[in-house]
Chain A
Amino acid sequence: MVEHVDVAVVGGGPAGISAAVASAAAGKRVCLLDEGSRPGGQIWRHRLGQVPDEAQSLLTKLDAAAVKVLFRASVFDVEDRQGSWRLTLSQGERRVAITAEKLVLACGARERFLPFPGWTLPGVMGAGGGQAFLKEGLELHGERVLVAGTGPLLLPVAASVGKAGGRVLAILEQTPWRRVLGMLPVLLAHPSKALQAAQLGRSLFGVPYRPGWWVQEAYGKDFLEAVRLTDGQREEVLECRWLFCGFGLVPNGELGVALGCAGTHAGLQVNKAQESSVNGIFAAGELCGVAGVDAALAEGAIAGLAAAGVWDAASVEGHRLVKARARARSTGRQLERIFALRPELRGLPRPETIICRCEDVPYGAIDPSWGSRETKLCTRAGMGPCQGRVCGPILIYQFGHTPDTVRIPYKTTPVGQLIAEEP
């Protein structure tokens, strides 16, 4: 049996939930799909029964709304069925097919990783990755942790480390002090963010925040033992057990690209009603360009209303959403400038440093004169189970490659589930 809905929303973070709730409120049959086990996406990730305060109101609305939610659902195929979309997804051992009149893509973003010697050692994780595991209950028992990379995310990660019993040695922020100070006007313009920052600052009291510093190399045999850091002139070596290191976020645009939606690797293009260049496909939140939770909430609501055919920019609610979106997007652009990656980071990998973790392709195996396809065919970079989601942005950053085309299965999928029903 193929279930039919009016609106299918892919991604259960703030944007997706917001869209699903808005469409459902307009009387549409809505289905919300997410790879995780609970609603909230990465930002509101939580353990069972421990919903974060800021998520409470929207998650309560989702519970109350007539939205069918499928968790642990990886969408691996979307087919254009002339006027409707057929989604096929893998849910554990099950294969599920859904048809929908409209699609809302709210697939969010993933962390950007940059390669440096030792970054493949167990104990080196993404900053958001570390955060995710801490939210899921990882305990650190006084272990020494270094938080590094770039962006505002590093601060809450460090705070979580402290809460989980870890000892944060430092927060290394690659962007220099003078640019970090550019955060001040952003905070002043958003009193709620300033308050959050102040609370974070209190919980991080005594933790060195070191703008202009970055990780050069991680050492260890079977597990991380130490990290060498630099500010370009000085070097230090710190012994530590964990390194949580992430260089900002990149949109999960794959599904949109596969469906022919216009955009770049920095985000899908949408119009004022959050509709993509493809009729009937809407997009909201980080996959339209990284701008944070406020943009996601506003755009999700707009996309949900537009997908339901009831979006009215001239209404009171419409005005509010448009304003919120503009404000959040402008903040997003400011943050992007403040936390732009410094060129020195391109020089971190050595010839033997792995670039593609799935296929163990070393940096030295890639001829800088090659294009993306040549690199892929000659080295297998991007051909492993993550389908280039980790090394793709690295190759774009290091070599200026263009993003790859996207084909089914959009996620690694068991053979048996790729077999369609008997015709």
Chain B
Amino acid sequence: MNQRILVVGAGIVGVAIADRLQASGCSVTIFEADLPGGGATAAAMGHLVVLDDSPMQMAFTARGVALWRQENLPKGCEREVCGTLWVAADEEEVEEARRKAERYSGLGLACEVLTAGQLWEAEPALRPGLAGGLRVAGDQVLYPMGAARFLLKRALERGATLCREKVQALVPGGVRTEPGLVQADAVILAAGLGTTTLLPELPIQPRKGHLAITGRVPGLVHHQLVELGYLKSAHGRATTSVAFNVQPRATGQLLIGSSREFAGLDGSPNRELLGRMLRKAVSFLPTLERVPVLRVWTGFRPCGPGNLPVIGPWPGRPGLFVAAGHEGLGITTALVTAELMAHHLLGTPAFLDPASFLPEPAHG
């Protein structure tokens, strides 16, 4: 025990890993030259959601949400267990809601299929004429920056250290920084988009998204609302897409999402896409039309090569581990990622098959 571990990156994934390993007796140093949590974490919506794209994704996200549930988060994390309401626009989507309900129930997750009438009762601000929905009660929302800072603070209180030097390169048995080499038993690369700079064999693409936040309209929306069509739009990999995705914040404000596009690292708003995203939101929530937007921002999801993030030892580089490519699920799965990493490093139990997340480095 008492391994010396370097974690590169203090986004939510990095700090969750650092906190978990420090709690298990490792001696952890976190490297972050920029603002901790200032990358994809700060831009994220903070929806802790179980997704069922594949059985493993479902197990992964369900475990992620369950681990967040066990955390006693301080007020600054603004956690609310508001649940997710998947909105079905037509009968086809109601069918999908039923299939989804079976899968969620199969994992022991509380959920219920809503008729059009029940949907209207649950969310009267939704437009009339929707076909129904699926309520997943245990999904949560939180303020990602608050959560990342909470985990970082806890890791530091447990004895971890935060080093503000930029990691210039990974070297056998450690990292190189401006002042010199730092040696350790293991290096964990959790640098989000920065991963590829340090490990070119692992391509992480920025998948840009827009979010808008409104003024306070308490009581207008009660659940995180997501259209069932979301799966269609969020999962085509090359295309630009928008989906209806609205989150009630503890402040009474609404966060409006979401968009996906591959547009390099240009963070300026894409007015056309923003317009499409907001038009979609208004089409589901007509009263939004007059609600003021205070701010719009963009962020980059770290999108890896596969449908699941890469978590585990990097082949051919003893002592190097990676946790990267969480795309839009970094907040939801930060704690389960840390659990898997702990399994690899310490042999603690993993509740999921770790092999599903093992890296397959690109050749050539």
Interface residues of A (CB under 8 A from B): 77, 79, 371, 373-374, 377-378, 383-385, 387, 407-409, 412-416, 418-420, 423
Contacts and interface: CB of A to CB of B under 8 A. Distances in A.
A408 B146 CA distance: 25
B170 interface: no
Contacts of A412: 215, 292-294
Contacts, number: 75
Given A377-B38, A415-B214, A415-B281, A387 B293 contact: no
* Chain A CB within 10 Å, residue with most, of B42, B291, B295, B296: B295
Which of under 10, 10 to 19, 20 to 34, or 35 or more describes the interface residues of B?
A: 20 to 34
A383 B295 contact: yes
Nearest to A371: B35
Contact of A415 (B35, B37, B146, B256): B256
A77 B274 CA distance: 13
Given A377-B35, A377-B38, A383 B275 contact: no
Given A418-B212, A420-B275, A377 B289 contact: no
B270 to A, nearest CB: 11
A384 B294 contact: yes
Contacts of A373: 35, 38
Given A79-B271, A420-B272, A423-B272, A415 B38 contact: no
B210 to A, nearest CB: 11
B288 interface: yes
A423 B146 CA distance: 39
A420 B271 contact: yes
B192 to A, nearest CB: 16
Interchain residue pairs A-B with the least CB separation, the first 6: A416-B289, A420-B275, A412-B292, A377-B145, A419-B275, A415-B288
A374 to B, nearest CB: 5
A418 B294 contact: no
B215 to A, nearest CB: 6
Contacts of B297: 407
Interface in B210-224: 212-215
B282 A419 contact: yes
Contacts of B215: 385, 412
Given A412-B215, A416-B288, 9 more contacts: A378-B146, A378-B149, A384-B294, A385-B292, A415-B214, A415-B278, A418-B278, A419-B278, A420-B272
Contacts of A418: 212, 274-275, 278, 293, 296
Most chain B CB within 10 A, of A374, A384, A418, A420, is at: A418
A408 B278 CA distance: 14
Nearest to B254: A415
Contacts of B292: 385, 412-415
B254 to A, nearest CB: 9
B343 interface: no
Contact of B296 (A371, A407, A416): A407
B269 interface: yes
Contacts of B289: 414-416
B35 A374 contact: yes
A409 B296 contact: yes
B293 A378 contact: no
A377 B256 CA distance: 18
16 contacts: A77-B271, A377-B35, A378-B145, A383-B295, A385-B292, A387-B295, A408-B269, A408-B271, A412-B294, A414-B290, A414-B293, A415-B281, A415-B288, A415-B293, A418-B212, A418-B296
A409 B145 contact: no
B279 interface: yes
Nearest to A358: B294
Given A373-B38, A418-B274, A419-B282, A408 B290 contact: no
A408 B296 contact: yes
Contacts of A409: 293, 295-296
Contacts of A413: 292-293
Among A383, A415, A420, find the residue whose CB has the most chain B CB atoms closer than 10 A: A415
A249 to B, nearest CB: 24
Nearest to B291: A415
Contacts of A415: 212, 214, 256, 278, 281-282, 288-293
Nearest to A93: B290
Contacts of A423: 272
Contacts of A383: 213, 294-295
Nearest to A416: B289
A387 B291 contact: no
A373 B39 CA distance: 12
A171 B290 CA distance: 43
Most chain B beta carbons < 10 A, residue from A77, A377, A416: A377
Contacts of B279: 419
Contacts of A420: 271-272, 275
Contacts of B146: 378
Contacts of B213: 383
A408 B212 CA distance: 10
Contacts of A371: 35
Nearest to A88: B271
A192 B11 CA distance: 61
Given A387-B294, A407-B296, A416 B282 contact: yes
B269 A377 contact: no
B251 to A, nearest CB: 8
A385 B281 CA distance: 20
A328 B80 CA distance: 56
Nearest to B289: A416
Interface string B151-194: 00000000000000000000000000000000000000000000
B106 to A, nearest CB: 38
Contacts of A384: 294
A407 B212 contact: no
Nearest to B42: A377
